[in-house]
Amino acid sequence: MIMSETSPQNYILLLSCPDRAGLVSRISQFIYERGGNILDLDEHVDPVEKIFFVRVLWSAEKYSISASELEDAFRPLAKEFDASWIIRLTARKTRIAIFVSRYDHCLLEILWRNSIGEFAIDLAIIISNHSDLAPLAAQYGIPFHIFPITSDTKEKVELQELDLLEKSSIDTIVLARYMQVLSSQFVESYKNRIINIHHSFLPAFVGSNPYRQAYERGVKIIGATSHYVTEVLDEGPIIEQDIMRVSHKDTRNDLVRKGRDLERLVLAKALRLHAEHRILVNGKKTVVFD
């Protein structure tokens, strides 16, 4: 992250709208008229759908205005553009809840990177359906909540979890190898705010046993994919992916071992991109400004 992004006077605009001439000029003028100085601007136009995407970071040291006042001022312009948009004060960290089961590698990566200040997040709570990783959470001083879950109790437990998330003012959920499928009602409550890690290069090998499937097919490349969660399993908008070459010499356990290295790095990068407001969802796809 560019250190200046976290300044208390810095703002980020993420916007998408139908493409038209003069959009960058109008947005830049809006910022200039309010004493802002643009530090970074990245844009993209989808050549097929003719949709304009932009991320703007600017400094507002010359004027004092709250994020809500800035939103009110920008709203007429956004309405004119027929835009989907957010404005975020960079000093406000994204409040995160991590859901995890028994695998610790992705959780460890996030805890370590967060401990050295790599993420613009406030890691508020960890939720699990098992007690195994409670000592790890305690080591980092993160509240750990256990919600055992069965098919008979799933609906009730999810309501309890949602209540805890609301009370904890959670912005985003990270599934760090959480071995449960969330209900459509749960997913809708945090639309485009639940980040998952899947242990294959999607769309190949969806489901719970991708390493077994990859080994049986004799693949020469394995991968990991981080994506937003939707109602359809493993088909949400993709945020980040990476791959690693394997060979006929690798056992199934070798694939799992190598794949875990990919999983932890891919999920960590996806979380960073999300927390820095670098992602715009476009239907089943994403535009990622990195």
Show the CA angle centred on residue 85, arms to residues 21 and 122, nearest 5°.
140
Side-chain-side CA neighbours of residue 131 (13 Å): 0
CA distances from 274 to 13, 39, 140, 204, 230 (A): 13, 19, 22, 24, 16
CA gap 276, 55 in Å, rounded: 11
Residue count (the chain): 290
Apex 288 CA angle, 50 and 21, nearest 5: 30
**Interatomic CA distance for residues 220 and 255, integer angstroms:** 10
Burial (CB count within 10 angstroms: exposed 0-12, middle 13-18, buried 19+), residue 131: exposed
Per the CB < 8 A criterion, the answer to whether 210 and 199 are in contact is yes
Q: What's the CA angle centered on 121, arms 73 and 75, to 5 degrees? A: 10
Sign of the Cα pseudo-torsion (272, 277, 278, 279, in order): positive
234 has catalytic annotation: yes
What span, in angstroms and rounded, lies between the C-alpha atoms of 43 and 160? 41
> Does residue 55 contact residue 279 with C-beta atoms inside 8 Å?
no
Rg (Cα) of the chain, in Å, rounded?
20
Q: Which of 46, 104, 132, 234 is catalytic?
A: 234
Residues annotated as catalytic are 234
